[in-house]
Structures are given as structure tokens and as C-alpha cells.
Amino acid sequence: MEKTKLIKRWGVWAFKGTVSALAIFYVFGKMEFREVGLLFKTANWWLMLAALVLFVFSKVFSAYRLQLFFRQIQVTISHGFNLKLYWLGMFYNIGLPGGIGGDAYKVYLLKKRFPEVRTKLLVSAAFMDRFSGMAVLCSLVVILLSFLPTPWPFTAYFWLLVIPGAFAFYLVFHGFFKTFKPILLPVNVWSVLVQGSQLGSAWCILHALGSDAGAMPYLVLFLISSMAAIVPVTIGGIGLREAVLLEGAILLEQEQSIAVGLGLGFYLITVFTSLWGIGFGLGKNALAKPHEMNGTTPQNS
């Protein structure tokens, strides 16, 4: 059984690595790598630092959003423990794309600390956290597309899609996850802060790389590439994000090297920030300090 699991694990890694390599090969088969390298060589590293800070803020906001879901099912943990758990999950996500690895670890650890809470509730909390973030991400895409000058008809009215989308989002909360209905508004506020911070980070990367053109097309492509990077077929989204940015830049007649540089810059910041989480995973009780946790007895609803 252990041998089978090991083979499966290495098989998944091999598959993801192959897809990432093929995607990167595809991207740099259509453009010169040295063009992107030159952008980073002459980059404004103060703006890169600002991009890093904004990205860190986005993850702190995301951690607080997730904590709202946990508290709603009576999993009461301190802010400090929550941040440590979130950052460790980010570290796991480097090799397990789509957030699956990190979310699974959070559910596993919290189930051990709160055995009275049903696993289904913990999984639902993690899922709805992701779902709420994706809903706001999709809304921002259609809103920004409405302000993007394109030769395509009806793009100016794309923002209207937010209305049925918001209604569908509400129905999901109300119909399938009533436990989380009371936190619908604050969850959306945190999600807007998360995506706004990441857009700010992308804007800083663009200007750090010397982009003098309008940022709007790149920001729209960045959001779309973020959606693509969630698909669990690559290592941390590397390759797939850049491929989407490249093809989008060609379609919108934008600078390809800037678009690909934006994707690589954001990925490097993500990896650098995620590596901090390794410090919270060393040792059997690294995350289980009693003074950091304040458990309560949940109601299994």
C-alpha cells in the first residue's frame, strides 16, 4: 500500500512537472527569454519590494477571511495560530497547485485539534473560502473587461454579468451552505481586499519592469491567468499562468515580454513568500502551542 502511494505521488509530480515544462517551453518558443531577462535586469527593485508587501497583505487578508469560516463552525483559533497555519498551507501549495495540498493539511490538523467538529464542516469551510475568492475574482474580470477598449462587441456591458453572478453566489450560500450565510458580507469585503491587494502587487510589478503603456489590459490578463493557475495540472501554476498571459498579450496587441515578466515576477514573489511557511512546520508540535489556541465545543449542525 505504501509503495502504491509513493508511486502515485511521484507520478503526480512527474505529470505536473511535465505540464509545467511544456508550458514554459511553449512560452519561450514564441518569444526570446533574454527579453524577459533584460526586464528583470533593469527592474526597479523598490517597486518590486512594494509588490511583495502588497502580496503579503493580500495573504494576511485571505487568512482572516478563512478564519471567519472557521469561527462560524465554532473552530476558534487565535489570529497568530491562524496565520501560521495559513502560511504553512501556502508552503504546501508550492508543489500542490490549486491550493489542494494546503487546504487538506489545514483540515487534517484542525480535525486533530477539534475532533468533535465534523470533517464535512471543515471541508466546507475551506471550499467556501476558495469559492468566495473565486467569485470576487470573476466579478473583477468582467468589470475590468467592460473598461477595456477592444474591437469585440458588447464588452462594454460585461459588467452586467456581475448581477446574475452575485445572485448565483447568494443561492449557493443560502441553499447549500446555510451555516456560513451570516458571514456573507464580511467574507466578500475581505475577498475584495485580497484581490485589490494582488492587483496592486501586479501594478507594481508592471511598472517595476518598465511598462509605460496602460496597465488595464495587463491587469485583466493577470486576473484571468490567476483563474487559470488554479487548475491543478502544473507546479504552483508556473507555465500555465505565463502561457495565458502570452496568448492574451498577443490577442490584445500588448507587449509580450511585459506580460510574461508579470507572470514570472508574481510567481517568484509567491514562492518567496510561501517559503516562510517552512518555519512553522518544523517539529511535531510546531503549530500546537497551547497558548496559541482557544478551543470551544462546537455544535454539529
Q: Are 65 and 187 in contact (CB under 8 A)?
A: yes
Instruction: Return the minimum-mean-pLDDT range out of 9-13, 124-128, 244-248.
Output: 9-13
What single letter denotes the amino acid at residue 53? V
Q: What percent of the chain has pLDDT over 70?
A: 79
For residues 297 and 74, the model is more confident at 74
Which run of H or of E encompasses 22? helix 2-29
Q: Which three cell numbers stand for residue 34?
A: 533574454
Q: Which three cell numbers stand for residue 171?
A: 443561492
Rounded CA separation 126/124 (Å): 5
CB atoms within 10 A of CB 153: 7
| pLDDT of res. 226 | 87
Q: Which three cell numbers stand for residue 119?
A: 470533517
Average pLDDT for residues 63-67, to the nearest whole number? 93
| pLDDT of res. 64 | 93
Reduce the DSSP state of residue 139 to 3 states and report it.
Answer: helix
Rounded CA separation 183/218 (Å): 33
For 36-53, the pLDDT digits (tens) are 888 888 899 999 999 999
pLDDT reading at 293 higher than 50: no
Angle between helices 119-146 and 100-113 (to 10 degrees): 150
pLDDT reading at 285 higher than 60: no
| pLDDT of res. 295 | 41
Q: Which of 267, 246, 263 is nearest to 255 (CA)?
A: 246
| pLDDT of res. 44 | 92
For 66-99, the pLDDT digits (tens) are 999 999 888 888 888 888 888 888 887 775 544 4
Positive or negative CA dihedral for 82, 85, 90, 96? negative
| pLDDT of res. 286 | 46
pLDDT reading at 287 higher than 70: no
pTM to 2 decimals?
0.83
Instruction: Return the minimum-mean-pLDDT range out of 166-175, 196-205, 210-219.
Output: 166-175
Rounded CA separation 54/36 (Å): 23
Q: Give strand pairing partners of 293.
A: 77
| pLDDT of res. 185 | 87
pLDDT reading at 153 higher than 80: no
| pLDDT of res. 237 | 66
How far is C-alpha 63 from the chain's CA centre?
A: 12
Average of per-residue pLDDT values in the chain:
80
Instruction: Return the minimum-mean-pLDDT range out of 5-14, 117-126, 223-232.
Output: 5-14
For residues 282 and 276, the model is more confident at 276
For 104-152, the pLDDT digits (tens) are 778 888 888 888 888 888 988 888 898 888 889 988 988 888 887 766 6
Q: Which of 276, 265, 277 is nearest to 51 (CA)?
A: 265
| pLDDT of res. 34 | 82
Q: Give the highest mean pLDDT range of 20-29, 47-56, 145-154, 168-177.
A: 47-56
